Chains A and B, each alone.
Chain A
Amino acid sequence: MATAVVARPVSRTQTRSREEEVLVWPDLVFIEFIAAMLFTITLFLLSFLVNAPLLDQANADVTPNPSKAPWYLLNLQELLLHMNAAMAGVIIPTIWLVIMGAFPYFDREQHGQGVWFGTEKAVRLTIVSAVVGFVGTWFLILWDSGKIAFFLHGWFGLSGGDSLRFLENVRSVQTQLPWPEWSRNITYSPVNIVIIGEDFQHLDFPAWLVEQGIPTMAMVGMSAMLIFSLWRVGWVVTRRDALIVLFSAFVAAYGVLTLTGTAFRGQGQELVFPWELKVSEGIPGQE
């Protein structure tokens, strides 16, 4: 078999005249860049010379009560009220973003892509999951703020007595149950790792349960139970159905968290009605 050897044309650098060349950075960008540099340098020098007249507004010891993030982050702040800080602020958002990014890899069905409510029971699933997410999130918030126990006690005179005190809120599970002493100090690592003053050799099981265990069980367990029970009644058929359930419940929960953090959290992050919400500037003596 003969192999044809085709000589490639030798490329030679083409000479161009100056007029043919086009700058990769247009002139305007250069001008803007120089302006930005001048502005930055001026601001830098100015900040050396002149102090911003913030005075008491920049006093970290004066904290408004309640202290709130911008409204679009109040869902995260609301989560922070109920669980471990790293979990609520970093781990859960990251995991959820990864899960949402994985949706198209889990639901590989081509048929009906991009169609709103594209499966047979989609509308029903959306409504049911949104209602469950809405009610479930409110229930958990009310429980953890002690309001359910408070209402039962105040409205109906019901009291669990000493045996049910641990149900008042999530933290009571740790503080009101007679946990044996060993369970508060379970050694699980042969060496002690201390990160920012935190001891990672011993597990305080009741604290772990309250700050991480119960919230994880609530979030993963309730989502799984919702999908499972809707599958048992035959409404969830395809993977897309399961994702519709998961996402609708998430949107409802996210909305409730944002709403609660924005309009229902008063001083000391106490759960109040929106018309009772007053903000104190936190100036000493004027609270």
Chain B
Amino acid sequence: MTQMQPSAGAAARRIEHARQAEARKLSRRSFLRVSVFAGLTLSVGAMAAGFLGFFNLRKPTGFGGVITVVPARVPKAGEEPSRISEGKFWLSNLAGAQGDVAGVGGTGGILALYWKCPHLGCTVPWNPAFNGAAVNFPGIVGWFRCPCHGSTYSRAGIRVYGPAPRPMDTMAVSVNSDKSLNVNTGVITSGGPDNPLRAKPYSG
């Protein structure tokens, strides 16, 4: 029995040593718990950061920002509308009551028409030769005609037929002192029968 005493003490020390080593190790349970919560925090954090990122308004250039159109690209009054691709709009320079097919009393001027069709969003081209509206609008040649569903708009974007629910949308225009135009493609107003009244007077 006396011989057993030291060995029992050594065994107890070994067991205590192993217990402490085990306690220092990360248990599987806490590892999983930490992983789950860390993963959850990361993904929720990433979503929250992405959401908050939307509030950081950037200053877009090109479409969405202010586009400056040099005077050479601005059509003369009564000329065909010109395509301003970088801003996705047509620049119409109405001569007098031109394009005012609904008769709201337009007096002419510069109009920036967003070229996205208010129906289902196709890019609306200008058709300079179309006079298929000859019955109700005799003598008016040149209309915007949507390639997808045939909505037809006057030079001022007034819808005369087709499935589109409203006239073409307009963008905010301001005339600079050097006859160039600032078109704010981020400020788009839903089209209405008053489109011709939104035209900015321009003498170039």
Residues of A that sit less than 8 Å from B by CB:
60-67, 77, 80-85, 88, 145-146, 149-150, 153, 159, 165, 168-172, 175-176, 197, 207, 211, 265, 267-270, 282, 284, 287
Residues of B that sit less than 8 Å from A by CB:
83, 85, 88, 102, 115, 119-120, 122-123, 125, 127, 130, 132-136, 145-150, 152, 159-163, 165, 190
| Residue in chain B with minimal CB distance to A165 | B136
Point out the residues of chain A lying under 8 angstroms from B132, CB to CB: 146, 150, 270
CB proximity of B87 to chain A, nearest CB, Å: 11
| Residue in chain A with minimal CB distance to B127 | A268
Q: List 16 A-B contacts (CB under 8 A).
A: A63-B148, A77-B149, A80-B149, A80-B163, A81-B163, A84-B163, A146-B132, A153-B134, A153-B135, A165-B136, A171-B159, A172-B136, A197-B190, A211-B163, A267-B147, A268-B150
| Residue in chain A with minimal CB distance to B152 | A268
5 residue pairs, one from A and one from B, having the closest CB atoms: A268-B145, A269-B150, A65-B147, A171-B161, A63-B123
A268 is contacted by which of B120, B130, B159, B160 (Cβ under 8 Å)?
Answer: B130
| Residue in chain B with minimal CB distance to A170 | B161
**B135 near A149: Cβ-Cβ < 8 Å:** yes
**B145 near A284: Cβ-Cβ < 8 Å:** no
- Docked Cα-Cα span, A207 to B123, in Å, equals 23
| Residue in chain A with minimal CB distance to B102 | A175
18 more A-B contacts (CB under 8 A) besides A175-B160, A268-B150?
A: A63-B125, A66-B148, A67-B122, A81-B149, A84-B163, A85-B119, A145-B150, A146-B135, A168-B136, A168-B161, A170-B161, A171-B161, A175-B161, A207-B165, A267-B147, A269-B148, A270-B132, A282-B125
Point out the residues of chain A lying under 8 angstroms from B130, CB to CB: 268, 270
Point out the residues of chain B lying under 8 angstroms from A282, CB to CB: 123, 125, 147
Point out the residues of chain B lying under 8 angstroms from A165, CB to CB: 135-136
Point out the residues of chain A lying under 8 angstroms from B125, CB to CB: 63, 65, 268, 282, 287
- Docked Cα-Cα span, A268 to B162, in Å, equals 10
- Docked Cα-Cα span, A77 to B88, in Å, equals 25
**A61 near B88: Cβ-Cβ < 8 Å:** yes
**A146 near B149: Cβ-Cβ < 8 Å:** no
**A270 near B135: Cβ-Cβ < 8 Å:** no
**A80 near B120: Cβ-Cβ < 8 Å:** yes
| Residue in chain A with minimal CB distance to B83 | A284
**A85 near B136: Cβ-Cβ < 8 Å:** no
Point out the residues of chain A lying under 8 angstroms from B150, CB to CB: 81, 145, 265, 268-270
- Docked Cα-Cα span, A246 to B179, in Å, equals 63
**B145 near A270: Cβ-Cβ < 8 Å:** yes
- Docked Cα-Cα span, A61 to B123, in Å, equals 6
**A67 near B163: Cβ-Cβ < 8 Å:** no
| Residue in chain B with minimal CB distance to A154 | B134
**B146 near A211: Cβ-Cβ < 8 Å:** no
Which of A168, A170, A211, A268 has the most chain B CB within a 10 Å cutoff?
A: A268
Which of B120, B133, B146 has the most chain A CB within a 10 Å cutoff?
A: B146
Point out the residues of chain B lying under 8 angstroms from A62, CB to CB: 123
CB proximity of A183 to chain B, nearest CB, Å: 15
Given A169-B161, A268-B127, A268-B146, verify A284-B135 contact (CB < 8 Å): no
Point out the residues of chain A lying under 8 angstroms from B145, CB to CB: 267-270
- Docked Cα-Cα span, A71 to B135, in Å, equals 31
- Docked Cα-Cα span, A207 to B122, in Å, equals 21
- Docked Cα-Cα span, A88 to B149, in Å, equals 12
**B148 near A67: Cβ-Cβ < 8 Å:** yes
- Docked Cα-Cα span, A282 to B123, in Å, equals 10
**B122 near A63: Cβ-Cβ < 8 Å:** yes
- Docked Cα-Cα span, A159 to B135, in Å, equals 8
- Docked Cα-Cα span, A69 to B165, in Å, equals 21
Point out the residues of chain B lying under 8 angstroms from A64, CB to CB: 147
- Docked Cα-Cα span, A197 to B188, in Å, equals 13
- Docked Cα-Cα span, A170 to B85, in Å, equals 33
**B147 near A63: Cβ-Cβ < 8 Å:** yes
**B161 near A172: Cβ-Cβ < 8 Å:** yes
**B161 near A146: Cβ-Cβ < 8 Å:** yes
Point out the residues of chain A lying under 8 angstroms from B115, CB to CB: 61
| Residue in chain A with minimal CB distance to B158 | A175
- Docked Cα-Cα span, A83 to B152, in Å, equals 14
- Docked Cα-Cα span, A153 to B131, in Å, equals 14
